[in-house]
């Protein structure tokens, strides 16, 4: 009974590390790592030891004989990956797990952010060195993308947060939450108390379409929508209103599929998740029954991952809008490609100028672009044209438009920033001054702010490893300045600057309060959706 890796795979390669027979690929040493939707178990080599299942932080590795609920397809997907793959020559010990050079003194490192990229960096420092780690976050609670970016109905993936709880509670970790770096404390001040500062702050901004009418109410960026259905503190509970019978989403990546699936889902199922009640109530109120995913290009370059589409729940009809050029691409699709996966879907003549048909339906419309948005106070229609032919636009009735066109990072005070890539200029995580081409001493980045908004949660493990290794190399070479301030002095500074500072004890009190609310309601957790609610839950735990 071999094992197979399924939909919720996070790609962090924890399973690779523990496999005794090297049967899980691609590994971080191999060139195709990060390019595949998931990792794959070779059923011919697997010895059924179960070590990979025990190590997986998101319960994605399962015995083939126990696959249920549509997951059976992953047994074949795992096997197919090895059908034409050349014989492997990778070593049993993978070089990406090297801990890095030894440093002759304990370091003090600040890590800004508590999402996966930042938390992997902290975890690596704590596991491989004697460093003391200071974690700072603008939110009173940790989690970053795991808490605020994973769809509420992906319960296994949300369980990823437990992987980092160890780091947050480690005796060499200090937690300072509800702190805005750049406002409450500067980068230069952090370097007075630390050898280095690692930024894992993600990419919160979206990419506008640049079309007339985009400023109308009812047009949303996907970061706000994702934040809304995840109870993000910087997104008000009433931010999103789902008007009309048709929702148009520009983009066809995993986030677009998440939004489409949730909007078309049965609200009774969503009430069993940690989705805020206000978001579930809005979905229940909504009359939307058709979601159209627009792709500027063809199905051969669709951005979603295969597992995300394969696990679309029953009750939602998934179709491809008929188009002569698009159908030619589908018919010529290479076996195993995303285009081939889409080619297996029903093709329909979709009259986007008319009201949607009854039933919940998801429509892939490739080779289309939005040319303008129309309406009075709110969106009433979207002009959609074949890509590159705006004069052939048709008026599509729609009450809501969502941009899901990628994320952009924002500048970090005190560090250089590349507006073109929306990242901090760096080499292997070392921040580089573009004026001189030299590293900025003590400054490092990891995650999306380092490499751009690409890769899933687990990709950050390898990314953080590279950054921490670069930092340790600099420390061993004497390129880091020893801090002049003590940990006690930093604590005193932050307590003076931040009236409602949340330290580890208060952070854990908020976490326990949410989980308790969830147990009462029969849900994983019931989130607080404002800082004031969180601070009230923390209560007297500060002392």
* pLDDT tens-digit map of 111-168: 999 999 999 999 999 999 999 999 999 999 999 888 998 999 988 888 777 889 999 9
Confidence grade of residue 94 (pLDDT, cut at 50, 70, 90):
low
| Percentage of the chain modeled with pLDDT above 70 | 97
Distances 322 to 197, 341, 351, 363 between C-alpha atoms, Å: 52, 16, 10, 10
Number of neighbours of residue 10 by Cβ within 10 angstroms: 26
Q: Is the pLDDT of residue 89 over 70?
A: no
User: What pLDDT is stored for residue 104 in this prediction?
Assistant: 84
Residue 253 near residue 309, CB atoms below 8 Å: no
In the chain, residues under CATH classification 3.40.50.720 are 108-204+409-499
Token couple for 90: 């990778």
Say which CATH topology domain 212-405 has. FAD/NAD(P)-binding domain (3.50.50)
Range in 96-110, 239-253, 395-409 the model is least confident about: 96-110
Tell me 104's DSSP state: S
Cα 16 to Cα 395: distance, rounded to the nearest angstrom:
50
In the chain, residues under CATH classification 3.50.50.60 are 212-405
Confidence grade of residue 88 (pLDDT, cut at 50, 70, 90):
low
Q: CA nearest 123: which of 192, 198, 194, 53? A: 198
Cα 345 to Cα 494: distance, rounded to the nearest angstrom:
56
Token couple for 402: 């969502």
Token couple for 223: 């970061």
Q: CA nearest 150: which of 26, 308, 1, 32? A: 308
Length of the chain counted residue by residue:
543
Token couple for 1: 């009974």
User: What pLDDT is stored for residue 102 in this prediction?
Assistant: 83
In the chain, residues under CATH classification 3.30.70.20 are 3-96
Residue 391 near residue 243, CB atoms below 8 Å: no
Residues 6+ away with beta carbon under 8 Å from 351 = none
Q: CA nearest 286: which of 306, 259, 253, 312? A: 259
Residues 6+ away with beta carbon under 8 Å from 502 = 140, 175, 176, 177, 178, 510, 534, 535, 538, 542
Q: Is the pLDDT of residue 369 over 80?
A: yes
Cα 426 to Cα 499: distance, rounded to the nearest angstrom:
34
> Regarding beta strands 438-445 and 502-503, do their DSSP bridges make them parallel or antiparallel, or are they unpaired?
unpaired
Residues 6+ away with beta carbon under 8 Å from 477 = none
Residue 249 near residue 402, CB atoms below 8 Å: yes
Token couple for 122: 């902290």
Average model confidence (pLDDT) across the chain = 93
Q: How far apart are the first and last CA of the chain?
A: 53
Residue 13 near residue 80, CB atoms below 8 Å: no
Please count the helices (runs of H) and the strands (runs of E) in the chain: 20, 24
Considering the entire predicted model, what is its pTM? 0.92
Residue 351 near residue 321, CB atoms below 8 Å: no
Residues annotated within a binding site: 117, 145, 181, 252-255, 296-297, 308, 448, 455-457
Tell me 378's DSSP state: B
- Taking the domain 108-204+409-499, which CATH number applies? 3.40.50.720
Cα 189 to Cα 497: distance, rounded to the nearest angstrom:
12
Question: C-alpha 54: how far from its chain's center?
Answer: 23
Q: CA nearest 134: which of 113, 111, 165, 116? A: 111
Q: For 289-385, where are the alpha helices, taking DSSP H only?
A: 306-310, 324-331, 338-343
User: What pLDDT is stored for residue 97 in this prediction?
Assistant: 66
Confidence grade of residue 543 (pLDDT, cut at 50, 70, 90):
very low
Mean pLDDT calculated for residue range 69-78: 89
Residues 6+ away with beta carbon under 8 Å from 213 = 219, 372, 373, 374, 375, 379
**Half-sphere exposure of residue 259, counting CA atoms within 13 Å on the CB side?**
33
Residue 198 near residue 118, CB atoms below 8 Å: yes
Class of domain 3-96: alpha beta
Residues 6+ away with beta carbon under 8 Å from 539 = 509
Among left, alpha and beta (phi > 0; psi -120 to 50; other), residue 69 is: left
Question: In this predicted model, what pLDDT tens digit does every residue of 192-231 receive, in sequence order?
Answer: 999 999 999 999 899 999 999 999 999 999 999 999 999 9
Residues annotated within a binding site for FAD: 117, 145, 181, 448, 455-457
Q: Is the pLDDT of residue 363 over 90?
A: yes
Map residue 78 onto helix, strand or coil. Answer: helix
Cα 326 to Cα 94: distance, rounded to the nearest angstrom:
42
């Amino acid at each position: 009974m071999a094992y197979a890796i399924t939909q919720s795979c996070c790609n962090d390669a924890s399973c690779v590390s523990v496999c005794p027979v090297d049967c899980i690929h691609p590994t971080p040493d191999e060139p195709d790592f990060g390019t595949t939707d998931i990792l794959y178990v070779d059923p011919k080599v697997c010895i059924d030891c179960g070590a990979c299942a025990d190590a997986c932080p998101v319960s994605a590795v399962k015995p083939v004989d126990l696959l249920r609920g549509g997951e059976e397809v992953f047994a074949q997907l795992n096997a197919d990956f090895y059908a034409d793959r050349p014989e492997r020559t990778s070593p049993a010990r993978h070089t990406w797990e090297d801990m890095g050079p030894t440093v002759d003194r304990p370091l003090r490192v600040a890590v800004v952010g508590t999402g996966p990229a930042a938390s992997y960096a902290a975890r690596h420092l704590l596991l491989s060195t004697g460093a003391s780690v200071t974690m700072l976050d603008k939110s009173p609670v940790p989690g970053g993308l795991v808490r605020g970016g994973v769809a509420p109905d992906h319960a296994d993936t949300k369980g990823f947060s437990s992987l980092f709880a160890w780091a947050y509670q480690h005796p060499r970790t200090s937690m300072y939450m509800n702190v805005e770096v750049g406002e409450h404390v500067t980068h230069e001040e952090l370097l007075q108390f630390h050898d280095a500062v690692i930024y894992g702050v993600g990419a919160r901004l979206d990419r506008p379409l640049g079309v007339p009418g985009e400023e109308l109410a009812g047009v949303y960026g996907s970061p706000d929508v994702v934040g809304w259905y995840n109870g993000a503190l910087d997104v008000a509970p009433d931010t999103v209103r789902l008007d009309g019978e048709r929702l148009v989403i520009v983009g066809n990546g995993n986030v677009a599929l998440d939004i489409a699936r949730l909007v078309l889902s049965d609200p009774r199922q969503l009430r069993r998740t940690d989705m805020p009640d206000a978001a579930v109530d809005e979905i229940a109120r909504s009359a939307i029954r058709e979601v159209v995913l627009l792709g500027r290009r063809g199905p051969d370059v669709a951005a979603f991952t295969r597992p995300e589409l394969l696990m679309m729940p029953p009750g939602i009809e998934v179709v491809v809008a008929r188009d002569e050029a698009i159908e030619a691409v589908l018919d010529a699709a290479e076996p195993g490609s995303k285009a081939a996966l889409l080619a297996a879907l029903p093709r329909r003549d979709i009259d986007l100028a008319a009201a949607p048909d009854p039933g919940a339906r998801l429509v892939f419309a490739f080779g289309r672009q939005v040319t303008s948005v129309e309406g009075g106070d709110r969106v009433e229609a979207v002009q959609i044209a074949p890509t590159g032919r705006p004069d052939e636009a048709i008026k599509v009735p729609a009450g809501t438009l969502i941009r899901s066109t990628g994320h952009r990072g924002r500048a970090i005070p005190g560090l250089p920033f590349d507006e073109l890539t929306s990242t901090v200029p760096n080499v292997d995580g070392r921040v580089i001054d573009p004026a001189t081409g030299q590293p900025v001493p003590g400054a490092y980045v990891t995650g999306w702010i380092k490499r751009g908004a690409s890769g899933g949660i687990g990709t950050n493990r390898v990314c953080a490893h590279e950054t921490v290794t670069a930092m340790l190399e600099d420390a061993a070479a004497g390129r880091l300045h020893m801090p002049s301030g003590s940990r006690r002095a930093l604590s005193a500074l932050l307590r003076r600057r931040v009236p409602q500072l949340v330290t580890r004890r208060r952070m854990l009190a908020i976490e326990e309060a949410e989980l308790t609310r969830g147990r009462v309601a029969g849900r994983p957790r019931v989130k607080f959706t404002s800082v004031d609610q969180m601070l009230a839950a923390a209560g007297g735990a500060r002392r």
